[in-house]
Structure 1
């Protein structure tokens, strides 16, 4: 016959479980702190200019821990890229586009992509740097393609639903639609500094951003809506 654990034994067991979890939580916190610091450093200075000692200091860690968790500076850079893409994909999934009215889903995605660039300027710099390198590091990623394929599949379902209802044009390519939505915002923010000087307008000011945001919506919705 089993003997029921005493309250003291239960407390002791709970304490042991907590003790086992703490190192795991600490490790996760440390890794996330390193990734956040690395994202800021890489976005600001690029891979070549970024310094691992600065990353470690900003993360409240040390270089030994950084190398233990991520292996090398290059591996850390790839982890930062995957984290940036993963965070954006997660937010896109949270939109639940397939559950919305098709036209509303497209409009929601346009709003999201534009606003995401406003709120996450670092991803602009990270993507610019990686494109200059010919996507050297993202080619090594085992996660990226799955992330992108999943999103394109959602857009495909939205387009199919819209076609069935007669509200979205037939034959639209979900990938090219997504590229157009992304490009309308990405180009604006990645070139805002030079364009502001060239045209004498403060393109990053709130009024200009709001006008551009609506312009993006108008362009995409005019393109996808069935006539």
Structure 2
């Protein structure tokens, strides 16, 4: 007679997932300094002791949330399968994805802002971030190499610099959407404004990378 499988491992994973989800919202809303573990516990339907058991202290929990956030976007980028597309089309898809991801995941931007306030002291300790970041840079580098080989892209473009530029032209627009709407006297978050911005982002990157005809 075999023993019935225990539910404890599954329950533990479900609890950890709830804690991470609640922590992501709390850290994104209030930053590391303002986030409260008791609120995270309440939202996760857990208790503080369980949080400390699974994740250590609040700093450790914040690092785990950050790692999860970066792994999520890097994993989604890998699923774009850019290597199967013509270089120009692949680059446009990457620019479009980055913009759409920021719009769908505003917590990612606020978490990154919070970590920058702390001079990336949590990411410096993370081996996970190093691995996923290297994989992404290699993917973009491979895309650029294919474009150069086919005579579509200019040679000598640094994939790290390109990634920073793609991120920046979307990141700045969204983090400054409130002040920008006042300064430029237009609603930067209206549907037509967002579509216009995406088109501008794509054109900007393609003009930067593509060989002039």
Confirm or deny that 1:31 pairs with 2:16: yes
Partner residue of 1:5?
A: none
Give the whole-Å Cα distance in 2 for the aligned partners of 1:25 and 1:187. 41
Partner residue of 2:179?
A: 194
Q: Select the residue among 184, 202, 207 that pairs with 1:217.
A: 202
Partner residue of 2:61?
A: 76
Structure 1: 4+ residue segments shifted above 2 A = none
Confirm or deny that 1:53 pairs with 2:38: yes
Give the whole-Å Cα distance in 2 for the aligned partners of 1:102 and 1:164. 10
Give the whole-Å Cα distance in 2 for the aligned partners of 1:33 and 1:146. 25
User: What are the Cα deviations for residues 24-44 of structure 1, in whole angstroms up to 9, with x where unaligned?
Assistant: 111111111101100100010
Root-mean-square deviation (CA, aligned residues, Å) is: 1.1
**By how many angstroms is 1:105 displaced?**
0.9
User: What are the Cα deviations for residues 46-80 of structure 1, in whole angstroms up to 9, with x where unaligned?
Assistant: 11111101001111111111111001000000000
**By how many angstroms is 1:100 displaced?**
1.4
Confirm or deny that 1:178 pairs with 2:156: no
**By how many angstroms is 1:171 displaced?**
1.1
Give the whole-Å Cα distance in 1 for the aligned partners of 2:80 and 2:14. 27
Give the whole-Å Cα distance in 2 for the aligned partners of 1:143 and 1:99. 26
**By how many angstroms is 1:163 displaced?**
0.8
**By how many angstroms is 1:198 displaced?**
1.6
Q: Select the residue among 86, 90, 99 that pairs with 2:75.
A: 90
Give the whole-Å Cα distance in 2 for the aligned partners of 1:197 and 1:136. 34
Partner residue of 2:92?
A: 107
| Larger Rg over CA atoms | 1
**By how many angstroms is 1:190 displaced?**
1.0
Give the whole-Å Cα distance in 2 for the aligned partners of 1:60 and 1:204. 34
Confirm or deny that 1:163 pairs with 2:148: yes
Q: Select the residue among 20, 25, 47 that pairs with 1:40.
A: 25
How many correspondences in the alignment?
A: 212
> 3-state DSSP class of the match of 2:127?
coil
